[in-house]
Amino acid sequence: MIGKGSAMTVISSTKNLEALSLTIVAEFDADVQRVWQIWEDPRQLERWWGPPTWPATFEQFEFQPGGKAAYYMTGPDGTKARGWWRITSVQAPSRLEFDDGFADDNGAPVEDMGSAHATVMLEDIGSRTRMTVLSTFESEEQMNKMVEMGMEEGMKEAAGQIDALLAEHSRAV
């Protein structure tokens, strides 16, 4: 299913090459409380964190300052890519901060891969919500890995979705 969200979901992105950071601003047709739930509820989080062919499963999810989360993403061939969060700040329903890194097969953080820091801010803009996500990386190598985990399969999936839609269309005609 191709996204129902409009093409204007993401309204801006700012890259800071030297600081290896990325700021994404998106707006949603829902109130702040509702958008907070997609972060707070691991079952909802699982539905969007990973690309459709690499769905995320959160095995541990302590949504509080100092809390930990452990998840894995399962690839089409059954390969599991594991990750962890260390939640550093929770200010419902407007601000969440966490460190995000890779884990080995046992779920232990791979320390030499470093971690990324994410700051999520939700803001009421009338009947809609503006979500700002600032991601800061420690190293280029770590960004490489993040991209490998999320990107390749995401692109393949998008292509597959288009194929499926075209197939449906030709059947309907």
Partner 1 sequence: MVVDQLTEAELDRLFQALADATRRDIVRRVTVGEYSVSGLAALYAMSFAAVQKHVAVLERASLVAKEKRGREQIVRGNHEGLQKARRLLDEYEAIWRQRAERIADILAE
Interacting residues toward partner 1 by CB under 8 A? 1, 3-6, 9-10, 13, 15, 17-18, 20, 22, 24, 26, 28-30, 34-35, 38, 44, 47-49, 51, 131, 133, 135, 139-141, 143-144, 146-148, 150-152, 154-155, 158
Q: Shortest distance, CB of residue 173 to partner 1, whole angstroms?
A: 26
Q: Which helix (H) or strand (E) holds 168?
A: helix 140-172
Q: DSSP letter at 109?
A: B
Helix or strand or coil: residue 148? helix
Q: Shortest distance, CB of residue 121 to partner 1, whole angstroms?
A: 14
CA-wise closest residue to 8 among 24, 22, 28, 23? 28
Our CB check for partner 1 shows the closer of 29 and 66 to be: 29
Q: Shortest distance, CB of residue 66 to partner 1, whole angstroms?
A: 25
Our CB check for partner 1 shows the closer of 37 and 65 to be: 37
Our CB check for partner 1 shows the closer of 33 and 89 to be: 33
Q: DSSP letter at 167?
A: H
Q: How far apart are CA 56 and CA 69, in angstroms?
A: 12
Our CB check for partner 1 shows the closer of 77 and 140 to be: 140
CA-wise closest residue to 125 among 11, 3, 6, 21? 11
